[in-house]
Structure 1
Amino acid sequence: MNIKRYFAKNSREALSMVKKELGEDAVILSNRAVDGGNEILAFREADIESMISDEPSRKPVRHRLEDFDEAASEPTFLSYVNKNHRDYRGEVASSGFSDSDEREFDRSETDQSAHVRNLPPKVFTQRRSAEKLSIDPAMLEPINRPAQKNVVKTSATKPVVATQAAPAPKVIETIVTSNADREASEQQIANMMSEIRIMRNAIESQLTEMSWGSIQKRDPVKAMMLGTLLTGGFSPALSRQLAEKMPANLTQKEAMNWTQAIIDKNLITMPDETDILDKGGIFTLIGPTGVGKTTTTAKLAARFVMKHGASKLGLITTDAYRIGGHEQLRIYGKILGVMVHAVKDEADLQIALEELKGKHTILIDTVGVSQRDRMVSEQIAMLSNTNRKIKKLLCLNATNTSETLTDVINAYKGKGLDGCIITKLDEAAIIGNVLDVAIREKLRVYYVANGQRVPEDLHLANKKVLVHRALKLGTQNNSPYKLATSEIPFVMGATRNKPGVAHLMEADHA
């Protein structure tokens, strides 16, 4: 029997080499991963047929049955088998192998012969010869069980020399794909799924563009209103949501009134100053650097002093990091006749609050840091861990983009925000962005600041005025950022999967 070795990078290539040289009926003896690739041992099926042939010259066994008819002084076949068996057990015992290891080896040998089906007639001759030699006939019985595809197990255990001329089985082996091949297949599947998703998104985007293109033709007023919202700074998601809810066949004025009423209904504002100036409490203004916290704190302090007097107001600043950071508020406090307490940590804040516990209202100005600075979480923790309830008002810069405003809210909301104050309204070219974020996050708008004057440039948030101004800025025809009518379907198609405002309320008369 001529056993050949084939080596390749992986089992697929090695199996291909076997099939090419030995044919489809090649018998696989072993398939294992080795350093640098995969190794397969195989031989031709014709070699098996030569092993079971009746010709004496082709018998592969070292001891033939006819040899046992010679002189009685020579060892019998049974004694030879028993001797080899004892020698094998002795070697196993001396090498440190346990009975479980031997059983595992026997099981692997049995698995290799589990695929034998129809044995040739010679098995009966062998059986009769075995009976004469006191060999259990069951050893030569074929195993009657369904054929299974098994991978040949290789073992480092010393193999036993064959002593019985039994028909060799035809081994049918399933090549197990190596881990590298499996990972490559999984990567190919992942790439294919990614390409399918890209194709799906492209098709859906084109269908959405076609849908909005048809809406422009059927209802040009709705398309006009959609362009106004987008130009005014409202997000495509909210603009699409409003356009889809808008009744059909409205006039331009009716569409404008309907849109204004819907936004007005969903924008939460403070009806009067009772919550701050009359009810009192502890309020802190938080937000990124340069948003106008200190100036807004001074404006609120001035409004309170004019209504209730300086003796009932307390001022605290946590801006102890910048050189002279608290001096601006100290100047305002000196003008108003209110002492300013500077704190640097949670313990100082607790002491200051105890000293000011008799005050009707306490305003806390905080240090400004980037929304992506880790100090934000430390600042929120300091304000939340006191034994007094502190209401947090987030200052939102109207000149920022919707993405930046959303990032700021996500960074500062921590354990919750009680409301917001819109600042720098006088510097903003459009204000739909800040209104959109306030509606989306369900933030109550307390005040709007539109200048540097203290306290004149601080006003209660009037939703009707804010919405009217936002839509009016959206009708600017000379803006280079205004979308053309033909461009609107592309924007809607690209943002079709963006979530709108949850639980968007409709106007009472809509």
Structure 2
Amino acid sequence: MNIKRFFGKNSREALTMAKKALGEDAVIVSNRSVSGGIEIMAISESEMHAMATNESVQHAASHQMHTSNNLLEDANTLDLDGDDYQDAPTLLSILNQNKAGAKTPKAIQKSIVEPAEIATAAPQRNDFMFKTEQSNHTSNQELTEKINFMLNEMRNMRSRMESQLTAMTWSNHLQNNPVKSKILSTLLAANFSASLSRQLAEKMPNDLELGKATTWVKNVLANNMHTIQDESELLNQGGVFALVGPTGVGKTTTTAKLAARYVMKHGTQKLGLITTDGYRIGGHEQLRIYGKILGVMVHAVKDEADLKIALNELRNKHTILIDTVGVSQRDRMVTEQVAMLTNTNINIKKLLCLNATSTGETLSDVIRAYKGRALDGCIITKLDEAASIGNVLDVIIREKIKLYYTTHGQRVPEDMQLANKKDLISRALTLNPSSWPFQFLDEELPFVVSTLQTQAETGRLMGVGHV
């Protein structure tokens, strides 16, 4: 190996000298700073290839010699009996000859690679190759698992660092603006979602006192809650309305309340009632009792064909109310129920009944189950049973669903009124003593909001500008 040394005042000069002597493809072996300049050790590319080839040949020879020695040791244990092997050279004699005359790698390769002469050694080599491949596969799999583990750890570290930095930012932000801290705490205690509460606190102007800040929040919430102005959209315009929702939200009672409000305004002749609740014991009977009191006949249907027949019989009615069977929002019957209402070729408006006592997560789940199927509006039920109503208002605002009515008791039709968004928002933000244990302390708020997504399923609120 012919490695040459070149010296120059700087790296460029020494490299130029090396390329001039060894060619443009000179390979730099090492470089170092010495007294007076830079020293480079270099070799030509052709000599580098020759050196690599020579090392490969030597490695092959060493490997073949090692294999030969192993086969020689194994051959000492072989017992080749029988007449068929008397005239054939033994494996031991071949290996002894190779061992004695092994001068070059070619001679070694020729003497031990003849298939007929080492047929008994082939299984050992194949087994060795299989074990090597299996070992490589296992190593690669372990390496992949370790890399994935490290990546997950790095992601977790990044998430924790971001959370801590956000917490520090919010801590400074809330300490400098106690009004925002109070508003954020109130919204969270009122059961508004963390994402909506955070967005309101972020966008609220900095120079507001607590009273004006509360008014600002109420106005923003009201601007983003859609309600009907009067009952003409439902009772005067008429049409076919189906009340849908999970079991136990009060659909039948709400249907009876709507029917009573219609009868009080327009009489019984133009109203039709239909029930599809054939699964509960006495499911039909509850609405039939209300219908009998109101003087309106109730049509019970069990499938799509019956529904078409009933709608055809009631085609001259001004308003038709359909009480549907209650099913879980995760039940496939939701799809079947909506399909039955859709396949009638009649524009049936679907009003979703939302239980005010349900959690925000449950209400979001219910809306997702029905919203993708042309939901027209909603009715909040059981307000009288709810300790806080921020959860249901939050879902209505985030999902942008029109609110028609609210109900707050079992009396028909007294315990039902047109939705008043200002009253609902004021009630939501007026905290009861029962909510105090669930309120966050000022020092806890930064750690709460740091784990939230700013735009998590909230979208852009109307009337909220950048601070």
TM-score by length of 2: 0.72
What's 2:169 paired with? Answer: 211
Q: Which amino acid aligns with 1:374?
A: R
2:210 aligned with 1:252, yes or no? yes
Shift of 1:454: 0.4
2:440 aligned with 1:483, yes or no? yes
Separation in structure 1 between the aligned mates of residue 116 and residue 235 of structure 2, nearest angstrom: 95
The 1:28–1:384 alpha-carbon spacing in structure 2 relative to 1, beyond 3 Å, is farther
Separation in structure 1 between the aligned mates of residue 172 and residue 65 of structure 2, nearest angstrom: 71
**What does the per-residue CA deviation read over 1:424-483, in whole Å, with 9 as the maximum and x for residues that have no partner?**
01111111100100011111001010111100111111111111111112x758621111
2:318 aligned with 1:360, yes or no? yes
What's 1:506 paired with? Answer: 463
Shift of 1:189: 1.6
Alignment of 1:321-360 (within 5 A): 321-360=279-318
Contact map agreement 2:405 2:418 (CA 8 A) in 1: yes
Alignment of 1:146-225 (within 5 A): 178-225=136-183
- Choose which of 59, 62, 74 in structure 2 pairs with 1:27: 59
2:361 aligned with 1:403, yes or no? yes
The 1:290–1:25 alpha-carbon spacing in structure 2 relative to 1, beyond 3 Å, is farther
What's 2:234 paired with? Answer: 276
Q: Which amino acid aligns with 1:485?
A: D
Contact map agreement 1:287 1:293 (CA 8 A) in 2: yes
Separation in structure 1 between the aligned mates of residue 241 and residue 106 of structure 2, nearest angstrom: 100
Q: Which runs of 5+ in 2 are unaligned?
A: 1-54, 70-99, 119-131
Shift of 1:26: 7.1
Separation in structure 1 between the aligned mates of residue 370 and residue 434 of structure 2, nearest angstrom: 37
The 1:256–1:476 alpha-carbon spacing in structure 2 relative to 1, beyond 3 Å, is farther
Separation in structure 2 between the aligned mates of residue 207 and residue 24 of structure 1, nearest angstrom: 56
Separation in structure 2 between the aligned mates of residue 404 and residue 352 of structure 1, nearest angstrom: 34
What is the DSSP-based 3-state SS (H/G/I as helix, E as strand, rest coil) of the residue aligned with 2:351?
strand
What is the DSSP-based 3-state SS (H/G/I as helix, E as strand, rest coil) of the residue aligned with 1:242?
helix
- Choose which of 331, 341, 344 in structure 2 pairs with 1:383: 341
The 1:486–1:314 alpha-carbon spacing in structure 2 relative to 1, beyond 3 Å, is same
Separation in structure 2 between the aligned mates of residue 352 and residue 440 of structure 1, nearest angstrom: 37
Contact map agreement 1:25 1:45 (CA 8 A) in 2: no
Separation in structure 2 between the aligned mates of residue 501 and residue 188 of structure 1, nearest angstrom: 38
Query: Which deviates more from structure 2 when the two are superposed, residues 264-273 or residues 408-417?
Result: 408-417
Identity among equivalent positions (%) equals: 57
Q: Which amino acid aligns with 2:178?
A: P
What is the DSSP-based 3-state SS (H/G/I as helix, E as strand, rest coil) of the residue aligned with 1:504?
coil
Alignment of 1:73-152 (within 5 A): none
Separation in structure 2 between the aligned mates of residue 410 and residue 62 of structure 1, nearest angstrom: 76
Shift of 1:413: 2.2
What is the DSSP-based 3-state SS (H/G/I as helix, E as strand, rest coil) of the residue aligned with 2:380?
strand
The 1:45–1:386 alpha-carbon spacing in structure 2 relative to 1, beyond 3 Å, is same
**What does the per-residue CA deviation read over 1:70-106, in whole Å, with 9 as the maximum and x for residues that have no partner?**
xxxxxxxxxxxxxxxxxxxxxxxxxxxxxxxxxxxxx
**What does the per-residue CA deviation read over 1:326-348, in whole Å, with 9 as the maximum and x for residues that have no partner?**
10100000011111011111111
The 1:294–1:61 alpha-carbon spacing in structure 2 relative to 1, beyond 3 Å, is closer
- Choose which of 444, 447, 452 in structure 2 pairs with 1:495: 452
**What does the per-residue CA deviation read over 1:373-406, in whole Å, with 9 as the maximum and x for residues that have no partner?**
2211111111111110110110000001100101
Separation in structure 2 between the aligned mates of residue 222 and residue 477 of structure 1, nearest angstrom: 23
**What does the per-residue CA deviation read over 1:244-272, in whole Å, with 9 as the maximum and x for residues that have no partner?**
10000210101001000100000111111
Q: Which amino acid aligns with 1:27?
A: H
Q: Which amino acid aligns with 2:428?
A: A
What is the DSSP-based 3-state SS (H/G/I as helix, E as strand, rest coil) of the residue aligned with 1:316?
strand
Separation in structure 1 between the aligned mates of residue 418 and residue 187 of structure 2, nearest angstrom: 24
Q: Which amino acid aligns with 1:417?
A: L
The 1:372–1:42 alpha-carbon spacing in structure 2 relative to 1, beyond 3 Å, is farther
Alignment RMSD: 3.2
The 1:218–1:341 alpha-carbon spacing in structure 2 relative to 1, beyond 3 Å, is same
What is the DSSP-based 3-state SS (H/G/I as helix, E as strand, rest coil) of the residue aligned with 2:283?
coil
The 1:46–1:327 alpha-carbon spacing in structure 2 relative to 1, beyond 3 Å, is closer
Contact map agreement 2:225 2:396 (CA 8 A) in 1: yes
What is the DSSP-based 3-state SS (H/G/I as helix, E as strand, rest coil) of the residue aligned with 1:447?
strand
Shift of 1:486: 1.5
Shift of 1:274: 1.1
What's 1:421 paired with? Answer: 379
The 1:400–1:478 alpha-carbon spacing in structure 2 relative to 1, beyond 3 Å, is closer
What's 2:244 paired with? Answer: 286
Separation in structure 1 between the aligned mates of residue 115 and residue 189 of structure 2, nearest angstrom: 83
What's 2:419 paired with? Answer: 461
What is the DSSP-based 3-state SS (H/G/I as helix, E as strand, rest coil) of the residue aligned with 1:311?
coil
Shift of 1:371: 1.4
Aligned residues between the structures = 365
Structure with greater helix percent: 2
What's 1:299 paired with? Answer: 257
Separation in structure 2 between the aligned mates of residue 194 and residue 315 of structure 1, nearest angstrom: 58
Q: Which runs of 5+ in 1 are unaligned?
A: 1-22, 30-40, 48-55, 64-108, 110-154, 162-174
The 1:253–1:25 alpha-carbon spacing in structure 2 relative to 1, beyond 3 Å, is farther
Q: Which amino acid aligns with 1:422?
A: I
Separation in structure 2 between the aligned mates of residue 332 and residue 28 of structure 1, nearest angstrom: 97
Separation in structure 2 between the aligned mates of residue 480 and residue 454 of structure 1, nearest angstrom: 36
The 1:58–1:293 alpha-carbon spacing in structure 2 relative to 1, beyond 3 Å, is closer
